[in-house]
Amino acid sequence: MIKFERFELKNGLRLIVHEDFSTPVAVLNVLYDVGARDEDPGKTGFAHLFEHLMFGGSVNIADFETPLQQAGGENNAFTTNDFTNYYIQLPTENIETAFWLESDRMLSLAFNEKSLEVQRKVVVEEFKEHYLNKPYGDAWFKLRELAYKVHPYRWMTIGKELSHIENAKLDDVRDFFQRHYCPANAIVVVAGHIKSQEARILTEKWFGEIPAGEKYLHAVMQEPEQTEPRKMEVRANVPLDALYKCYHIASRTDPRYYLAELISEVLGGGASSRLHQSLVKEKKLFSNIECYQTGSTDAGLLVIEGKLIRGVSMHEADKAVEEELQKISDALIDEKELTKIKNKTESAIVFEDMSVMNRAANLAMYEVLGDANLMNTELEKYQSVTTPDILGECRKIFHENNSSTLYYHGKN
């Protein structure tokens, strides 16, 4: 049970405080309710590029990093398709430094051409490092475009293509800041060795006078139901053939989400999972195979991906995966299998909660989904799932018309 208190400032800024006096550190986590799904299709990758610019100095503080390091603090940030999250951890004595830094960059950035120019290059190198200069690095670009035709999840957080980043203008940056970076669209979490009262006073002091801004309403087109199986084949200079299959699942706040998560565990969670045992160990068709779901706010994907043993045909491998999906859609999974994945889920949650930084980020993520307290009811939702629930959901998910399949052929 993660205890917390919730406050709202006059300017609409939401504050969540989680006290934990067992640690000598405190965390200030700021989540902005904007991600790659809020981008213009012609200017993708912007939420993430913007995250980089947040470290380029703010209106009253030229250098973000040095004062934080002087205070013994560490920080980082990440952008997803749904939101952007910034966090600072430091010795609790110096927590006010984090308030000073974070509030100033919410108030206004320094906006300079030089910072934009450098960060464009840095992000281009990030793009190359993770997606271009790496075998199979482009597979997800293709898979997203295959599975999503309408929803902005059809592009990657890093951006659809390099040119979108290379062409970003300072005016775009200003617009983006105005639209999304304001108290009305932010959630602040203070966690660790700090009293709730003190956290509240500091938040009022540093964030209280920032103009509220306008609440941004996500204008995202939801993906319509898929009505035909989709297939794509590519060839690339990679040593092994790879198979990717994905299926649409429910959104993060739908009760069906929990079923999809458990189904992905039955199929691909660990060495005793169905796909690994059947396809890697028994049939020896794949050298590795995974199953996971994307966990996105809007309707996500359940994904199966694996690399084929050399000499196995793509068709044969695909058929074997489909047989497993048929099996889980035909008959109830064992009670023991369900207990296993529930136990795994419980462990995963407890281990994740060990770090105060994770707890802070999770409180913010659940709050943006609608209620920070969802963090405390997750386990219960998993625990209440039954084997017929799993069966019913498998029948919905593993329908041919809900599938997108990518054959990624290598050069043998």
Partner 1 sequence: MLNRTIAPKITDATGFTLTLPPFEKHRLRNGVDIFMLNLGELDTLMINWVFDAGNFYEEKNLVAGAANYLLKNGTTSKSAYAINEHFEYYGSYLSRSCQNEFADVTLHCLGKHVHELLPVVAEIFTVSVFPQEELDIFKKNMQQRLLVGLKKSDFVAGRMIDAYLFGEKHPYGRMSSVEDYESLHRDEIAEFFDRYYHQGRCVIFVAGKIPTGLIQQMEREFGSLPMLAHVEAAVKHHHIIHAKEKKYRINNDPNGVQGSIRIARNFPNRHHPDFQKMQVLNNLFGGFFGSRLMSNIREEKGYTYGIHSYLMNHVEQSAFLITTEAGKEVCEATIEEVYKEMAILREDPVDEEELSTTRNFMIGVILGDLDGPFQVASRWKNIVLNNLDANYFYRSIDIIKTISSAELQDLASKYFRPEEFYELVVV
Residues 274-303 close enough to bind partner 1 by CB under 8 A:
277, 280-281, 284, 287-288
129 binds partner 1 (CB under 8 A): yes
Q: Are strands 403-409 and 230-235 parallel, antiparallel or unpaired?
A: parallel
Q: Residue 333 is inside which H or E element, if any?
A: none
149 binds partner 1 (CB under 8 A): no
292 touches 264 (CB < 8 A): yes
221 CB contacts (<8 Å, ≥6 apart)?
A: 150, 151, 152
Between CA 310 and CA 317, with CA 311 as vertex, the angle to 5 degrees is 90
147 binds partner 1 (CB under 8 A): no
Alpha-helical regions (H) of 288-355 = 314-330, 335-352
The residue within the footprint of partner 1, chosen from 159, 268, 269, 300 (CB under 8 A), is 269
Nearest distance, CB of residue 286 and partner 1, angstroms:
9
408 binds partner 1 (CB under 8 A): no
Number of C-beta neighbours around residue 256 at 10 A = 16
Q: Which is nearer to partner 1, 10 or 310 (CB)?
A: 310
199 binds partner 1 (CB under 8 A): no
Q: Which is nearer to partner 1, 128 or 319 (CB)?
A: 128
> CA 116, CA 122: separation in Å to the nearest integer?
10
The residue within the footprint of partner 1, chosen from 22, 42, 224, 228 (CB under 8 A), is 22
- Interacting residues with partner 1 between 214 and 253 (CB under 8 A): 237-240
2 binds partner 1 (CB under 8 A): no
User: How crowded is the C-beta side of 152, counted as CA atoms within 13 Å?
Assistant: 25
Taking the CA atoms of 155, 156, 157 and 158 in sequence, report the sign of the dihedral they define.
negative
The residue within the footprint of partner 1, chosen from 3, 8, 10, 132 (CB under 8 A), is 132
Q: Which is nearer to partner 1, 285 or 368 (CB)?
A: 285
353 binds partner 1 (CB under 8 A): yes
The residue within the footprint of partner 1, chosen from 8, 40, 113, 125 (CB under 8 A), is 125
Nearest distance, CB of residue 181 and partner 1, angstroms:
16
